[in-house]
Amino acid sequence: MITDLIGKEFSESLEKGKSFFLKYDYVRVLAHYDGDGTSASIILTKLLLRNSKKFHLGFIKDLSSEGFSKRIMEEPNLPTIVVDAGSDQLKFLKGDTAEILVLDHHFYSGGSKKELNINARDFGIDGTREACGATMAFVFALFISEENADLLPFMVSGAIADKQDLGSFRGLNKTLIEKYGKNVEKKHVLNLDGESILDALVYSVDPFIKNISGSLEGTRKVLEKLSINPETKPEDLTREDTLKLGSYLGYVLSFQGAHSEAMSYLEKDEMYFNNGFSASLLAKIIDANSKNGDNNIPIEFFMGNNSLKNEMISNKRKYETRLIDYITRSYKSITKEKNLQFFYAPGSEMAGAISGQLMLYLLDQDKPVIGFNVGDDSTLISSRGNRRMVERGLNLSKVMKECTEKVGGSGGGHDIAAGGSIPRGMERQFIEIADEMIGKQLNPNKNE
């Protein structure tokens, strides 16, 4: 039982959430638009359908105080479940609303309706590494009924989308996988997915490998050099070919300056679910469709509309092609400050994905990266660091919250990855404030 895996206080909060769930026949679900939020929404929509509940599903992109409030107040009289967001935004709501249940894992500061704000961090769980939005949705579904254990694949896809599998799963994620994934097939393989090893390498974003990712010619040369048949499926590589390719890719990543975390991403303990997808492929498909703005496609597919499979997989390919191009272009335009590095995203709503890959695989590993996505009136910000910086004192959640507020915006997130929104035209001022604050976090004893 799920109650055997979590503490008393967590169970008590879930009981309140269950009362909310059973009270209403029609609810609105609002999820963060990324791979984690979309995975969580698949869990919740399946849960609602299984309990004969009617629902309306929507997604949130703008988590600023204004953006969140506007989204909620579009239908203030609807009971609402917010997942993978909400804990830090509830305090911004003005006016009366119907009941709101939040399932979240991000840092937040007071002022929330705590009795319906179920956040992993309130129960001693690290929301950056041990539980994501999909984890919270899965735990909630299990609390409603253990028969929802078959929704595990979507919890795993959400955790992978949030990079909580880096260095292996841990904490609550690990506990849930061990408990409810006992019968899932597992195999240690290279972290490559595709119809062929050629296809897998050319479209590889995780890992991102210079002169291979996005380069058909470069990939062919490497495979020819290693005497590996380019048409071989990744899972069908011989042990010898796997070792050769893994060693070569490790050398390339090391040479291009990738962080040690990236090296661990070369291999994985893959899970193969009975829905026909591996864990990593499922995560990549859901995340890609989400970032393309096509969140509804994987949701409808996993609700039973099999006619969407080809479109869903095609969207993954389109997203990877675009992201590889944007990563390459952003890498060439990086500006370095004393304590941080930044870029302007070449495409809308891609700054977060670009920042993550740049930080993990390509950039100076001693400075966090900040990406700007400039809109008509506001600029969205995404920031990424690494574990070593966090151990030295980096907390990007605080940086985003405090520095955005100083220029008229808002922000938050995790210590290692966070985001925000500021008025357009305030980017330079924001960089100067953030650069100073990050310097103090990373070098607290340094004399100014």
How much is the pLDDT for 263? 79
Are residues 339 and 308 both part of a single domain? no
Domain boundary among 262, 296, 326: 326
Are residues 401 and 303 both part of a single domain? no
Decide if 342 is inside a domain.
yes
Are residues 202 and 296 both part of a single domain? yes
Residue 394 parent element (H or E): none
How much is the pLDDT for 114? 46
Domain boundary among 276, 310, 326: 326
Sorted by sequence, the CB contacts under 8 Å of residue 294 that are 6+ apart come out as 312, 315
Pair 263, 250: CB distance under 8 Å:
yes
Sorted by sequence, the CB contacts under 8 Å of residue 404 that are 6+ apart come out as 381, 410, 411, 420, 421, 422, 430
What is d(CA 116, CA 120) in angstroms, rounded to the nearest whole number? 13
Decide if 36 is inside a domain.
yes
Token pair, residue 160, equals 């992978």
Decide if 447 is inside a domain.
no
Tokens 């809308």 belong to residue: 348
Are residues 304 and 253 both part of a single domain? yes
CATH assignment of the domain containing 81: 3.90.1640.30
How much is the pLDDT for 187? 87
Are residues 124 and 210 both part of a single domain? no
Q: Could you list the residue range(s) of the whole structural domain that residue 389 is in?
A: 334-442
Are residues 135 and 12 both part of a single domain? yes
Are residues 158 and 239 both part of a single domain? no
Which 3 state secondary structure label does DSSP give 328?
Answer: helix
- What DSSP designation does 227 have? T
How much is the pLDDT for 331? 95
Pair 231, 249: CB distance under 8 Å:
no
Sorted by sequence, the CB contacts under 8 Å of residue 183 that are 6+ apart come out as none
Decide if 199 is inside a domain.
yes
Decide if 448 is inside a domain.
no
Are residues 176 and 204 both part of a single domain? no
**Helix residue ranges, H only, 148-304:** 152-161, 171-180, 197-202, 216-225, 239-255, 260-264, 279-291, 296-302
Whether the predicted model's global pTM rises above the 0.95 cut: no
* Closest by CA position to 326, among listed 348, 311, 306: 348
Q: How many domains does the chain have?
A: 3
Domain boundary among 299, 326, 353: 326
Are residues 190 and 111 both part of a single domain? no
The per-residue pLDDT for range 131-182, each reduced to its tens digit, is 999 999 999 999 999 999 999 999 999 999 998 998 789 999 999 999 999 9
Are residues 203 and 345 both part of a single domain? no
Tokens 């994934």 belong to residue: 181
* Closest by CA position to 260, among listed 365, 367, 368: 365
Cis peptide before 207 (omega within 30 of 0): yes
Sorted by sequence, the CB contacts under 8 Å of residue 223 that are 6+ apart come out as 197, 198, 201, 229, 230
Decide if 22 is inside a domain.
yes
* Closest by CA position to 269, among listed 202, 342, 187: 187
Pair 91, 397: CB distance under 8 Å:
no
How much is the pLDDT for 193? 85
Say what the alpha-carbon torsion angle 142, 112, 106, 410 is, to the nearest 10 degrees: 150
Per-residue pLDDT of the chain (448 residues; tens, 9 = 90+): 999 999 899 999 999 999 999 999 999 999 999 999 999 999 999 999 999 999 999 999 888 778 888 898 999 899 999 999 988 888 888 778 889 999 999 988 765 554 589 999 999 999 999 999 999 999 999 999 999 999 999 999 999 999 899 878 999 999 999 999 999 999 888 889 888 999 999 999 988 999 999 999 999 999 999 999 999 998 889 999 999 999 999 999 998 988 777 777 788 889 999 988 999 999 999 999 998 889 999 999 999 999 999 999 999 999 999 999 999 999 999 999 999 999 999 876 788 889 999 999 999 999 999 999 998 888 999 999 998 999 999 999 999 999 999 999 988 888 999 999 999 999 999 999 999 999 999 988 765 5
Are residues 168 and 298 both part of a single domain? no
Residues in the chain: 448
Q: What is the CA radius of gyration of the chain?
A: 21
Are residues 344 and 412 both part of a single domain? yes
